Structure 1
Amino acid sequence: MVVSVFLFTLPDGSFGSAGQSWKILDLKKLVSKLEFEVVIKNINEIGTTSFNDNDILIYTSSENKEIRTFLKNNLFYLKDKIRLIPSYDILMAHEDKSFQEVWKKKEGFGNIIGKSLFDINDHILPFPKVVKSAQGAGSSGVFLVRKNSDLKKVEKAFFSKTPKNKLISIQRKIKLNREEYEKYQYRRKAFNLFIEQEFIPKLKHDFKVLVFGDRYFTLKRSIRKNDFRASGSGKFEFIVPPQEVLDYAKNIASILDNPYLSLDIAQSESGCHLIEFQGTNFGPYTLLNAPYFYKCVSGDWQKTDNSKDLEDNYAHALNQYMSNIYD
């Protein structure tokens, strides 16, 4: 059976993330390092491309919500016919912490209790806990909630009606009976997609781990004074990570089954915890700056000098992944 491999870029020719929004990967260089032939197209051509069963479609997502929705819509009916790289689950999880929580619960990984919610009144985890906006990545929209008054602040900022809707609600209250008004209030409630996660106490840092095939790049991120978040702290160190963190990252990589990954891993007395993850269009800072990467050989982690070549590592990860498909 002849299998075609397609590589779909964004309409501007970009693939993945090169860090700053004004930079892009050198696609010509990346493709030159691939050990298989690809047909290059852009995502606007997905709907007009003829695919055979078992063809392979490699694509990139985007930080733009509309582009992500476009991809979800256009790849939905293809996901059961051809192989998507990344998988459709990885696409669903991209910059969507809500789906990440659903996935972690279904497959039983992550080692952290979390729940997706759209109504702040549906929260169930005990205080203290962390609540996060489901959309996006990084430390923005992430809050430590120690007591009910903290939760009220989040509710006011993210779950409040606009002044116009408040005025309309007052008008409806005058015209409707009590039962009708209660139904109206819920239907017009200010919902927002959030998640809640258990708070892991006494953390002083976490690890950003980028996985490209069998290469693991790590960054220690310390927590600032009077904060609880490591992401965005700017207090970064490239140290030799604990073996437990590398072993845990390798286990998560086997579950997520993607050529490349970005993992946020915390370590506590009860083990490692997967806080968040991405499998497409994630920042490459750790790869571009780490002096070494780590590779597991017969159960031992070996340190190797890092070339800091982003295109080479993308190609390496894709070559390995494709080799495993054909084996």
Structure 2
Amino acid sequence: MKRILALKDYKSVFGSKKFNFPYRSGMDKEKLVHYFKEAGYTLEYKFFNEIDFRSKQYKDLHIIYTSSEDVGYHYKSYIEDIIYGLEQMGANVMPAYTHLRANNNKVFMEFMRDYLGYTNNLKSNAFGCLKDLKMHLNNIQYPVVFKTSEGAVGRGVKLVNSEKELIATVKKTTPRNYFMDLWDHARSIRHKGYIKESVYRKKFIIQEFIPDLKNDWKILFYGQKLYIFKRPIQKGRDIRASGGGTVNYKYGLQAEAPEGILDFALDIYRKMNVPHASIDIAYDGKAFYLIEYQSLYFGTSALVNSEGYFIKKYQKWEFIEGKVALEKAYVDGVVEYLEKKEVKRKEAISYS
């Protein structure tokens, strides 16, 4: 059997799952073993801290892994180091390191969106500190959407209507180290010509505002399976549809999906080149907009609450009724990804 290594965190958690038990315990690891075995793969688990970079055993090995949403994202930073190191050694990490970097990192997500050409109709700018922003204030047209780089379920997202409000928002969302600020001020007194560091240093995004939106759609891909739900923007939540509560969402055939949105999402998913994806899309009646995306450790309520999924057959979308276990859908996504990769590898050899 072909081998896959799964990396779990220090709590022995792998992935995210809605309504799991115990609470926040991730996917059922035994079910993953079972479904991978059915597909012809042996699944082995290791903790991140068990990876030995002196070993050469990871080259060409298929590796899946969890991410983390720990406070401050300190453990996620550790995971990034491990996955980047494995990728440099020649391991086939799924998804690739760049997608882990973009996980709950909206600044890097925007860079990837622009570089890979996922969409080009929603403009944004990323800044590393308040002084960066002040260089571009004359070019900003209000209102704009302010986003902190980190945060999920709508946290750190705000509609900003003026320059004064934008500067105040940056200051409010940036923690300060007053001791280091005082120390840096002393440097400016001691050293003539020294330029003080920006007091407000925390990366953020300014994104173009799409007016009159009443909802958005979240679409999940597990290989060929597409799950969709509609999220309304509720009163008191400003412009945020995310985090409004799953009881307010409409799933599957009830999602009122506008014509073309499934193809729009599929095009993005194919460009991402990952086994799984979560894609947030807005529609203003004329055009679709990619708001955000993730390829690991995202919410699973669309799969859990939907009575079925969409799949594209013969250029048409078909809705398949029936529940699919999250672990089964996850495994199917990985296996389909590996099979496509193997086909491409063989085609490259035959043409060389």
**TM exceeds 0.5?**
yes
C-alpha displacement at 1:237, in angstroms? 1.7
The answer to whether residue 234 in structure 2 is matched with residue 228 in structure 1 is: no
Which 5+ residue runs of structure 2 have no aligned equivalent?
344-352
Q: 1:114 aligns with which of 99, 115, 124?
A: 124
SS at 1:76 equivalent: helix
Contact 1:264 1:275 in 2 (8 A): yes
The answer to whether residue 34 in structure 2 is matched with residue 32 in structure 1 is: yes
Q: How does 1:1-327 map to 2 (within 5 A)?
A: 4-19=3-18, 21-34=23-36, 35=39, 36-47=41-52, 50-64=56-70, 65-80=73-88, 81-110=90-119, 111-123=121-133, 124=136, 125-159=140-174, 161-162=176-177, 164=179, 175-176=189-190, 179-180=193-194, 183-184=195-196, 187=197, 189-225=199-235, 227-234=238-245, 235-238=248-251, 239-327=255-343
SS at 2:86 equivalent: coil
1:241 to 1:188, Cα distance in 2 relative to 1, 3 A: closer
SS at 2:146 equivalent: strand
Higher relative contact order (CA 8 A, sep 6+): 1
Contact 1:61 1:71 in 2 (8 A): yes
Contact 1:289 1:308 in 2 (8 A): no
SS at 2:100 equivalent: helix
Q: What TM-score, normalized by structure 1, do the two folds share? A: 0.89
Once residues 308 and 32 of structure 1 are traced to their aligned partners in structure 2, the CA distance between those partners, rounded to angstroms, is 15
- 2:347 corresponding residue in structure 1: none
1:172 to 1:104, Cα distance in 2 relative to 1, 3 A: same
C-alpha displacement at 1:67, in angstroms? 2.2
RMSD: 2.3
Aligned length: 321
Once residues 217 and 157 of structure 2 are traced to their aligned partners in structure 1, the CA distance between those partners, rounded to angstroms, is 17
Q: For residue 58 of structure 1, what is the amino acid of its counterpart?
A: I
Once residues 225 and 188 of structure 1 are traced to their aligned partners in structure 2, the CA distance between those partners, rounded to angstroms, is 36
Once residues 243 and 87 of structure 1 are traced to their aligned partners in structure 2, the CA distance between those partners, rounded to angstroms, is 31
Q: For residue 130 of structure 2, what is the amino acid of its counterpart?
A: I
SS at 1:16 equivalent: coil
C-alpha displacement at 1:168, in angstroms? 5.4
Which 5+ residue runs of structure 1 have no aligned equivalent?
none
Contact 1:3 1:56 in 2 (8 A): no
Q: Percent identity?
A: 27
Q: State the Cα deviation string for residues 37-61 of structure 1 (Å, max 9, x = none).
A: 2332222222255425322111111
Once residues 191 and 339 of structure 2 are traced to their aligned partners in structure 1, the CA distance between those partners, rounded to angstroms, is 66
Contact 1:3 1:54 in 2 (8 A): no
Q: What TM-score, normalized by structure 2, do the two folds share? A: 0.83
